[in-house]
Structure 1
Amino acid sequence: MDHYVGPDRLALDVVEGPIGAGRVGAFGAYVALLRPRHWIKGSLVLVAPITAPPAVIPHFAAIAMTLLAFLAASSTVYVLNDLRDFEADRLHPVKRLRPLASGSVSFRGGVALLAALLLGTAGLLVAAPPLVALILGGYVAMNIWYTLALKHQPLVDVSVVAAGFVLRVLAGAVAAGLAVQPLLLICVYCASVALSLGKRRHELADLAVAGARHRPALSAYSVPFLDHVVVMNLVAALMCYLGTMWQLRPPYGQVGAALTFPFAAFHVTRYLQMLMVERSGGDPVDDLMRDRQMRFNLGLWTAVLASTFLASSL
């Protein structure tokens, strides 16, 4: 099936694409350790600024600094996580191909990369606006706690992951000097919880069949339970999305809500189809980037949103 993400395909994703670390050499292995394909998550920093009037342009430097800081911080967390779990990852049918677990990057090399990332992130913290630095510091501290302990706590694990996405949006709004939109933050939180639980559902339903129940927290979940909670959070995200659009400058917000809701609903429905029918969902980033229907829908959605924001700023 075109959209099925089985162990062989997941193995490619673990090393950041169809070319494994053994082919791209040591440099490629270090780059893969940073998980650059997941930097797309940093785009949430731009959500609030791009929905605002052009007046945020003078804040461009602060917004760019905030985006760069979150990219560095997220890679720092990824490297720390792989250093901590590389022994266990070696026993996993998919994660064993990660640079540290496979030996493409030595443990000492991983520690050196982590130290460099920590220094870089610290420098960006100093250069960022004070409130953004506070948010970013909280993000780093929360994710270190997650890596060391919280990721083994059922439901707490996905809540922490979702909070990390919310902090990205919040930091972007602060960097741009914009008022915080609570409904937007709730929308991002609920969507992130749904995607995180969808990932766990995929692991429980597919990888666990092969005896690869890698996350200790999976023992507290079941497929029916996760199905219900994923749907609940996606419905909440859709409602909050409508509310966020509705609050834009009248009448463009209301028009934008009406015009873009079908795209949002299709995206949610397609994701659920991939998760529950096509046994995908192991990597939401992969789903977004590889699935043709979602890419096409996202393109149309973006075009309509851009037209709405442009009209509201005139």
Structure 2
Amino acid sequence: MSGLLALLEAMRPLQWSKNLFVFTGLVFAGKLADPQMFLTTVAAFACFCAVSSAAYLLNDLVDVERDRLHPRKRLRPLASGRLSRTVAAGAGGALAAGGLVGAFLIRPQFGWMTVAYCVLMALYSLLLKREAVLELFVIASGYVLRAAGGAAAIAVHISPWMLSCATLMALFLVLCKRRAEVFAADAPEQHRESHAGYTPQLLDQMIAVATSATVVTYMLYAFQSETARTHTGLFWTVPFVIYGMFRYLFLVYVRGQGENPESLIVRDPHLLGSLLLWGGLSVFLLWGN
């Protein structure tokens, strides 16, 4: 039982929240009430949960020795010895295979999107995460592949505006995460080689650019896109996006948080509230018009 719990922990179930990007195409195509498309998207979400967990296991296998030197990461199942490398490798292979087979059964186009995600994450774990700045775009591409993959699974068009917003929002979150990691007292440079390429000034400038670009792009989407012309009132969602991003910046810069965005969003009532209000209003406007 302890071995299974250790494996589940290493699979990072809390990180599965990132795979909710798969639902982007379903929601913004106005198909959330379509039972067949909804179930297909749920299946696509499950496939991405499987392959993303495989990616986390690979990452931990590659970094196990380095993680043992980290004050917090040394407690991870592989680094602490609670999970053997053999079990982790076998489980990772099974998860990747199962996720890919399921993806191709859903739709070949979605299958190839999932393959692209797996290849990208493997390159990240083995090589690209050591490259400052480039690693940011690799992680952001993972979010875009989730959103585009979800649309491919149900054969709907996803707006370039939404893909742009997803890319920029992902960059914003990753940059804030890197800033929190670099500035944390227990995360010196040697724990992640790419940190050596970042300075406080560089990170702050990139965060400012990502914040501005995300807000402007979303505003253009909400006011000028084809979706906005078809579904009037989408501009009412803009304040929730701006408030949520400003609140996140407050938590990162003032309270020194941001290392774990997936848990921070759930823990902070302001962030969670703005996210739920944005999501609820978006669905209402897309369905009500």
TM bracket (short chain): over 0.9
Shift of 1:268: 0.5
**Structure 1 partner of 2:246:** 269
Paired with 1:120 and 1:241, the residues of 2 have a C-alpha distance of 36
Alpha carbons of 1:211 and 1:45: their partners in 2 closer, same or farther (altered >3 Å)?
closer
Paired with 1:299 and 1:148, the residues of 2 have a C-alpha distance of 36
**Structure 2 partner of 1:229:** 206
The answer to whether the aligner puts 1:310 opposite 2:287 as a matched pair is yes
The one of 133, 144, 155 aligned to 2:133:
155
Shift of 1:122: 3.3
What does 1:108-123 correspond to in 2, within 5 Å? 108-123=86-101
The residue type paired with residue 303 of structure 1 is G
Could you give the per-residue CA deviations for residues 123-147 of structure 1, whole angstroms, max 9, x where no partner exists?
2133131111111111101110111
Shift of 1:304: 1.8
The answer to whether the 8 Å contact 2:180/2:257 transfers is: yes
The residue type paired with residue 65 of structure 2 is E
Taking structure 2 as the reference length, the TM-score comes to 0.93
Could you give the per-residue CA deviations for residues 206-243 of structure 1, whole angstroms, max 9, x where no partner exists?
146x6464110111101121111112112211222223
Shift of 1:248: 5.2
The residue type paired with residue 48 of structure 2 is F
The answer to whether the 8 Å contact 2:21/2:147 transfers is: yes
Shift of 1:308: 0.9
**Structure 2 partner of 1:285:** 262
Could you give the per-residue CA deviations for residues 145-194 of structure 1, whole angstroms, max 9, x where no partner exists?
11100000011101000001001111111222222311111111111111
Paired with 2:114 and 2:26, the residues of 1 have a C-alpha distance of 17
Shift of 1:251: 5.5
The answer to whether the 8 Å contact 2:175/2:207 transfers is: yes
The answer to whether the 8 Å contact 1:181/1:244 transfers is: no
Q: Percent identity?
A: 29
Could you give the per-residue CA deviations for residues 47-69 of structure 1, whole angstroms, max 9, x where no partner exists?
12112234854434432332221
Paired with 1:61 and 1:275, the residues of 2 have a C-alpha distance of 37
**Structure 1 partner of 2:217:** 240
Taking structure 1 as the reference length, the TM-score comes to 0.86
Q: Which SS does the other structure have where 1:92 is aligned?
A: coil
Any gaps of 5 or more consecutive residues in structure 1? 1-23
What does 1:57-76 correspond to in 2, within 5 Å? 57-76=35-54
C-alpha RMSD of matched pairs (Å):
1.9
The residue type paired with residue 110 of structure 1 is A
The one of 2, 9, 19 aligned to 1:32:
9
The one of 129, 132, 155 aligned to 2:110:
132
Alpha carbons of 1:120 and 1:251: their partners in 2 closer, same or farther (altered >3 Å)?
closer
**Structure 2 partner of 1:12:** none
Paired with 1:60 and 1:200, the residues of 2 have a C-alpha distance of 34
Shift of 1:303: 2.5
Aligned length: 287
The answer to whether the aligner puts 1:199 opposite 2:199 as a matched pair is no
Q: Which SS does the other structure have where 1:278 is aligned?
A: coil
The residue type paired with residue 112 of structure 1 is G
Q: Which SS does the other structure have where 1:71 is aligned?
A: helix
The residue type paired with residue 309 of structure 1 is L
The answer to whether the aligner puts 1:98 opposite 2:76 as a matched pair is yes
**Structure 1 partner of 2:22:** 45
Q: Which SS does the other structure have where 2:184 is aligned?
A: helix
**Structure 2 partner of 1:142:** 120
The residue type paired with residue 65 of structure 1 is A
**Structure 2 partner of 1:219:** 196
**Structure 2 partner of 1:15:** none
**Structure 2 partner of 1:9:** none
Q: Which SS does the other structure have where 1:84 is aligned?
A: helix
**Structure 2 partner of 1:6:** none
The one of 118, 132, 143 aligned to 1:165:
143
Paired with 2:80 and 2:287, the residues of 1 have a C-alpha distance of 49
Q: Which SS does the other structure have where 1:306 is aligned?
A: helix
